[in-house]
Amino acid sequence: MVEWRKRVVSNNGVNLAVFEVGDSAHGADERPRPTVLLIHGWPDTHHLWTHVAPILAADFHVVAYDCRGFGESDRPDGDDPYRLSELADDVFAVAEAVSPDQPVHIVAHDWGSVQAWEAVTRPGADHRIASFVSVSGPNLDQLGDWARDNLSRPTPRNLGNALSQAASSAYTVFFQMPLLPKLFFGAAGSPAVWRAFLHRVEGTPRENVVVGDTLREDMISGLRLYRANIRTKLRDPHTSPTFVPVLEVVNERDIALRPAIFDGTHRHTQRLWRRSTATGHWLPYTNPAYLAQTAHDFISAHAPRTPADVAGRLDRNRLFGPPKPLSGKLAVITGAGSGIGRETAYALAEQGCELVLADIDVAAAEETARESKAFGAQASPYELDVSDTSAVSTFADEVRRAHGVPDIVINNAGIGLAGSALDATDEQVDRLLDVNLRGVISGSRAFGRQMVERGVGGHIVNIASAAAFTPQRSLGLYSASKAGVLLFSESLRAELAEHRIGVSAICPGIVDTNIVGNTPIAGLDAETEVAERNRIDGLYRRRGFTPDRVARDIVRAIIRNKAVVPVTPEAKVGYRIYRFTPWVSRIAARRKVTQ
């Protein structure tokens, strides 16, 4: 349990209970430690930060306070003292008291974030506030603007977004009623009920939910935040810009706030970053280590003498326009030097992802990285032979150290092998299975463990093939390797579902890549093999289905969390034939294709 040091700060006669942990003096490098100000929301107190504060205190002077109306702070009568203008005054009063010589860095949640937005949009706020990490709390003026924009342009998407948020916010109508919510929380506002509620809706471990003895009183007193601000702000919004660097931590499974409401933040924020994960509203309780690390990196990047690697890592989250579904994600792609891997890198670069590009041909990976940077993406090339299991593990560790835990992993590296299964050499079979199947398993396991440990979800894409469900007499070994990828992916998807990690198997059909030109054909002499390979390569080129079209399907699969994605018309037909009339596939498999 964190050992807080308590003091009292007054603002216009309202006493605020302030709690500190960590040294406010100099660190080991003789630099002043930045002060981090933690601000809670409804119905919490400074106890919300019990698990986050000690992590940040290793490098920062950490301060939390009970907002007016909560915990050990004063509870002024009436609704007017709880207007956002008054709450923003509290933010500046505490900041001045705990860090008079240096601006503070704010990390705020829920209504704490709402009042921090009010503070950072005041003129000159950037002189007192060095950075702001916003978690599950919008600027109410911006929210009002967003609602008006969606309703004034009633497209299906806009109306859907507005209705979805209205449904999520329906509880606020109840909260603003004069008597019923007081009676409700008076009866149900116990710590046990609150812990059970968070466990039920978000899976929050009950032991993580630390509350004070004043929880019931806080629930009732905090209702004044809703009455004092929501109708006024949404009815007549007045947006103001901020020059404070802002990181929006967007929780995609937030029960109260839909991600779409943050789509317009970039219009009001000069320097905006975004981190979006499959997490819920009470992130400080459910995933405190992730939140602490995210905040730590952002604060460090806006502190004096920022380490180059920290500043570089931060760049991937910065927004210069409306967010895209995958904005700010870190994506790892194997086999990124050509074909589907290269085109997928370009597609994800357009989405605003940071890229880690691996290939056995490092020069090809470097070329993909250079081209990806033309889309404004950060891209780092690596040399990797996915058939080397220990090399894959080492690569995963290096990625984590240099870039962080990836949000997306695409196991794309693969090779071909055609011809008779009986004529193939043992070396050919071993190499095929080591790259196509074991390489996918190794990459999924190494990065999957990291995603599970981090606890905020992710997505793994494994490139299989239509050959996985389209048996052919001349592709038996290749089909076996890709069928293994397909069923492994389906099984892994079931295993990782509870961790909010999606797994997609992509099954392209005939796609014009360079894999055919490099595919050995067992059972043929050298001259005949070259002629046959050129014939098949010409067939693929005439087919004209380019790898960029596969890349688009990969992006859609990630966004929509698709399980199995047949790509190309023949793959879609073959998938359905094998599922519903497999005997047709068996008859067709007897036909000679490569000879």
The residues assigned a catalytic role are: 478
Measure the CA–CA gap between 207 and 152, rounded to whole angstroms.
46
- Beta bridge partners, 134, equal 108, 248
Measure the CA–CA gap between 264 and 242, rounded to whole angstroms.
14
Phi, psi at 383, each rounded to 5° = -90, 130
Name the CA dihedral angle for 324, 326, 329, 334, rounded to a multiple of 10 degrees.
-130
Cβ of 584: how many Cβ atoms within 10 Å? 12
| Nearest of 411, 550, 535, 423 to residue 476 by alpha carbon | 423
Angle at 121 between CA 89 and CA 326, to 5 degrees: 130
What does the block give as tokens for 439?
């390489």
Which residues are CB-neighbours of 296 under 8 A, at least 6 positions away? 55, 56, 59, 60
| Residue 12 DSSP symbol | T
Beta strands 129-135; 5-11: pairing state: unpaired
Q: How far is CA 290 from CA 81, 287, 509, 574, in A?
A: 34, 6, 39, 43
Measure the CA–CA gap between 554 and 139, rounded to whole angstroms.
34
Measure the CA–CA gap between 156 and 164, rounded to whole angstroms.
12
